[in-house]
Amino acid sequence: MINVIGIGPGEIGLITEKGKKIIKESHVLIGGSRNLASFEDFKGEKLEIKNNLKEIITYIKENKEKKISILASGDPSIYGIGKYLTENLGKEKIQIIPGISAMQYLFSRIKMDMNDLYITSSHGKNPDIDYLLSHKKVAMVTDNLLGPKELAKEILKRNLKKQMVVGENLSYEKERITMGSPKDILEIEKYDMNVVVIYDEG
Ligand SMILES: C[S@@+](CC[C@H](N)C(=O)[O-])C[C@H]1O[C@@H](n2cnc3c(N)ncnc32)[C@H](O)[C@@H]1O
């Protein structure tokens, strides 16, 4: 069985006990550099995910005798590696251990409910902005091309009454949460790794 473990937004205390136990018992840990860095003490083999997902799949298929854990940030099923692994290894071959998504973490920090939330991502796609902004409450994991400032500009262009929240480096020491109007969001020069929430004013 291949384990896909959601390790939460970053702070090691936010990973589940079950996830920690499986990682400890594993022969091989596979993950992006940020996720592997959280397990410096791990004694087994480590494989870094870069632009090598095909090679990773081949490695997993050729090393069936090893206990392998693949680390995913947040929750593997929310714009994470869970989908790719399920499609490429088969549902019956993997076990997914959920984690706290960066989105869930941000909503807890700002004490806002996630009811009726539209969840989306800008990673590797060109979202339909009109459709996105038609929702009362949206949470988006972002990439470098479409982030807080681009979204703020799209809201202003349409003259919509929306408020925004940007949660950067969530759960890390350098965490920053900025709340305000799209104009306020545009005043900050640069945003680091972030989740954006957009909601209707009033
Ligand atoms: C490929 S998605 C993975 C999302 C993840 N599966 C989850 O549930 O949080 C990566 C994006 O998640 C967001 N993200 C993940 N961890 C974060 C953190 N600690 N602080 C802010 N954003 C984070 C960023 O938008 C980042 O570009």
Tokens of 196: 């954006």
Region of residue 124 (phi > 0: left; psi between -120 and 50: alpha; otherwise: beta): left
pLDDT (0 to 100) of residue 36: 96
pLDDT value at residue 3: 98
Tokens standing for residue 124 = 């590797």
Q: Which residues lie with the beta carbon below 6 Å from any ligand 1 atom? A: 9-10, 72-75, 78-80, 101-103, 123, 141-143, 167-171, 193-195
Quick check: 3 and 70 in contact, CB under 8 A? yes
* pTM of the full structure: 0.96
Probe ligand 1: pick from 16, 101, 141, 196, max atoms within 8 Å of CB? 141
With H, G, I as helix, E, B as strand and everything else as coil, classify residue 147.
coil
In this predicted model, what pLDDT tens digit does every residue of 78-110 receive, in sequence order? 999 999 999 999 999 999 999 999 999 999 999
What DSSP state is assigned to residue 21? H
Burial of residue 42, with CB atoms counted within 10 A of its CB: 0-12 exposed, 13-18 middle, 19 or more buried: middle
Looking at the predicted structure, is the pLDDT value of residue 124 above 90? no
Share of the chain above pLDDT 70, in %: 100
Please work out, in degrees rounded to the nearest 5, the angle formed at the alpha carbon of residue 107 by the alpha carbons of 8 and 159: 130
Distance CA 148, CA 74 (A): 20
Alpha helix stretches (DSSP H) within the chain: 17-25, 33-37, 53-62, 82-89, 102-110, 129-133, 148-157, 182-186
Q: Report the residue among 85, 195, 196 best suited for mutation to probe ligand 1: largest number of ligand atoms under 8 A from its CB.
A: 195
Asked whether 81 and 60 are in contact (CB, 8 A), the reply is: no
- For 48, the 3-state DSSP assignment is strand
Structure tokens given for 172: 């890390």
**1 pLDDT tier (thresholds 50, 70, 90):** confident
Q: What is the mean predicted confidence (pLDDT) over 10-16? A: 96
Question: Who has greater pLDDT, 1 or 129?
Answer: 129
CA atoms within 13 A on the CB side of 7: 24
Confidence at 202, pLDDT banded by 50, 70, 90: confident
State the average pLDDT for the chain: 96
Q: Answer whether residue 173 shows pLDDT above 90.
A: yes
Q: What is the pLDDT of residue 125?
A: 83
